[in-house]
Structures are given as C-alpha cells and as structure tokens.
C-alpha cells in the first residue's frame, strides 16, 4: 500500500490459480453447492494434467457443456451481456456463450495450453436449419497462428475443425495477449483498464484467485 501510495510500481502478481483463494471466494459467493462444483472442476484439472491435448480439449469442452445450463445473460445476471468468471459460472451452474468460452479458455490455460493458441471468436451463428441468425461466441484452438482452428462450442457437443462449421461465420477474435505483458503470465491489469468487459472479467478473475 505504501509503495503504491508513493506512486511506485506495484509488485507483479503471482500467476496460476490459487485454489485456497478460489474456495474462499466461492464459499462467500455461492456457499457449499458452489464449492462442490469447484471441487469437481479441480478434480477434472488434476485428471487431465498429464493427458494429451485432444483429451484435454474434449474433456474440458464436455465438462462445461454438461455442467452449465445455457441461459441468456438477462435472465441469469439481470444484465445484458454480462461476462462471468468461471467461478461465477460454476457457482450459478448456468451461463451464456461467452461464459462457456471464458471458462474453457481458463481451464485449458491452466492445463498448460499456450495462451496464444487459444482465441475467443465472435461468430454469426444460424440456429438449426432456420434462417434465424444470432451473435455467438466460441473458443478456437490454433495449432499454429496461420492454421485453421478447432472450435469448442456449447451448441454442439463435439469438437470440429472450423471449416466444418458452416453454420458459423467468424467476425473477430481476441485473447488475453496484451493483457499479460509479452505473453508472460504477469498481469498488467490496472483499475483503469477494467473498463472493457474483457478486462473487467480478467480483473475479477484475478481478484477471485484465477490468475
């Protein structure tokens, strides 16, 4: 506090998830039921720690698609397009498309998947065979930056290469590069920088013990 008060550089935060802190945050926010869900997630992470990448992608995708019920943000959080942290998503047991993507993104990063291979992608989705289109978000896995990504989606249970997803039109993608300096795990987040949704959710994740 003193150094911050004198305007000196804040000390870098330690990276990686802090399980004790997450449990404490969860207990406060969602009680025992939430902690149970969190413990399941920890177990998943422990099981997948040494698995191959395909298994990791599949199991993480399946875990969240199975456990989280899809709802619109306005019903879940009372706010349009609220971006929840994985803790909040797990605690609620339900979430929006971006909540799935964020939770999967964080899980995979925790399992050691390099951050620059994962990108959250805004897509234009046609639901079923109808002509109804909807704004949607999926998580893409890029083997190399120039490669075609694998898509982790909550609408379909399996992981497919992007070219097979003719129902989706990509619009724009982003990840946490730039939020963490030079691809390192050190946070550069600043109170001022939480103005955007993405930064805000990253900031909350830090507070809850993810990063």
Partner 1 sequence: MSLIKQLWLTIVILLILAFVGSLFVSISSSRHYIEQEIRIKNSDNANALALSMSQLEKDPVILELLLAAQFDTGHYRRIELRDPEGEIIERRVGDETIDTVPAWFASLIQFDVPPGRAVVQDGWRQYGTLILESHHSFAYHSLWRSSLTLAGWFAIAGAISLLLAAWIVRTIRLPLRNVVRQAKAIGEQRFVESPEPRTRELRELVRAMNRLAENVRGMLGRESEKLDQLRRRLQHDPVTDTLARAPFLEHLEVSLGSHSHDASGTLAMIRVGNLAEINQQLGHQKTDALLVGLARSLKQLSLMNGDGRVGRLNGSDFALLIPRAHDLKGLGEELTERLEGLASEYGTLLTLPSALTEYRQGKSRETLMASLDGALAAAENQGELGQVIVESSEQEALFTSHDEWRNALEKALQQGVYLAHFPVLDTQGKLLHYEAPTRLKLKGEWHPAGVFLPWISRLDMSTELDLAAVAAALDDTAQSGKSIGINLSPRSLRDGRFVSELISLLRAHPEGAARLWLELPEAVAVQNPTGFSSLCREVQTLGCRMGLEHATSQFAQIEGLQHLGLSYLKIDASLSKDIEHHQEHQSLLRGMATLAHSLGILIIAEGVESRTAAQTLFDLGLDGATGPGVRQNGSELID
Report the residue number, 135 or 171, with the smaller CB distance to partner 1: 171
Query: Which residues in the 45-104 window bind partner 1 by CB under 8 A?
Result: none
Nearest to 137 by CA among 194, 184, 191, 70: 70
Backbone angles phi, psi at 59, to 5 degrees: -70, -40
Closer to partner 1 at the Cβ: 7 or 78?
A: 7
Q: What gap in Å lies between CA 206 and CA 12, rounded to an integer?
A: 12
Q: How many residues bind partner 1 (CB under 8 A)?
A: 29
Strand, coil or helix: 210: coil
**Shortest separation between residue 132's beta carbon and partner 1, angstroms:** 22
CB of residue 189 vs partner 1: minimum separation in angstroms? Answer: 11
Nearer to partner 1, 72 or 190 (CB): 190
**Residues 185-204 close enough to bind partner 1 by CB under 8 A:** 188, 190, 192-193, 195
Region 126-185 residues binding partner 1, contact defined as CB under 8 A: 140, 142, 144-149, 162-163, 170-174, 177-178, 181-182
- Residue 196's contacts (CB-CB under 8 Å, 6 or more residues apart) are none
CB of 154 to partner 1, least distance (A): 18
| Nearest-approach distance from CB 43 to partner 1, in angstroms | 33
Tell whether residue 118 is a contact of partner 1 (CB under 8 A).
no
Q: Are strands 118-126 and 133-141 parallel, antiparallel or unpaired?
A: antiparallel
Which residues touch 153 (CB under 8 Å, ≥6 apart)?
Answer: 136, 138, 139, 165, 168
* CB 37 to partner 1: min, Å: 32
The least distance separating partner 1 from the CB of residue 190, rounded to whole angstroms, comes to: 5
The candidate with the shortest Cα–Cα distance to 98, out of 70, 63, 125, 126, is 70
Tally of CA atoms within 13 A in the half-sphere of 112 that contains its CB:
10
- By the 10 Å C-beta count (0-12 exposed, 13-18 middle, 19+ buried), 52 is classed as exposed
Residue ranges in contact with partner 1 by CB under 8 A: 6-8, 119, 121, 140, 142, 144-149, 162-163, 170-174, 177-178, 181-182, 188, 190, 192-193, 195
């Amino acid at each position: 506090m003193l150094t911050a008060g004198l305007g000196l550089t804040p000390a870098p935060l330690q990276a990686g998830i802090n399980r004790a802190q997450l449990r404490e945050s969860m207990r406060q926010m969602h009680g025992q039921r939430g902690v149970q869900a969190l413990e399941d997630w920890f177990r998943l992470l422990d099981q997948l720690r040494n698995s191959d990448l395909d298994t990791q992608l599949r199991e993480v995708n399946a875990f969240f698609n199975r456990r989280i019920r899809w709802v619109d943000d306005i019903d879940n959080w009372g706010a349009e397009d609220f971006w929840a942290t994985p803790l909040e998503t797990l605690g609620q047991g339900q979430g929006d498309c971006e909540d799935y993507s964020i939770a999967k993104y964080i899980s995979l990063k925790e399992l050691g998947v390099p951050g620059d291979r994962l990108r959250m992608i805004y897509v234009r989705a046609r639901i079923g065979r109808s002509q109804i289109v909807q704004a949607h978000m999926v998580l893409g896995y890029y083997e190399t930056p120039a490669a075609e990504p694998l898509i982790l989606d909550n609408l379909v249970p399996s992981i497919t290469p992007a070219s097979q997803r003719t129902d989706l039109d990509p619009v724009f993608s982003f990840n946490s590069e730039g939020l963490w300096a030079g691809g390192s795990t050190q946070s550069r987040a600043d109170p001022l920088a939480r103005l955007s949704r993405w930064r805000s959710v990253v900031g909350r994740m830090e507070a809850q013990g993810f990063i």
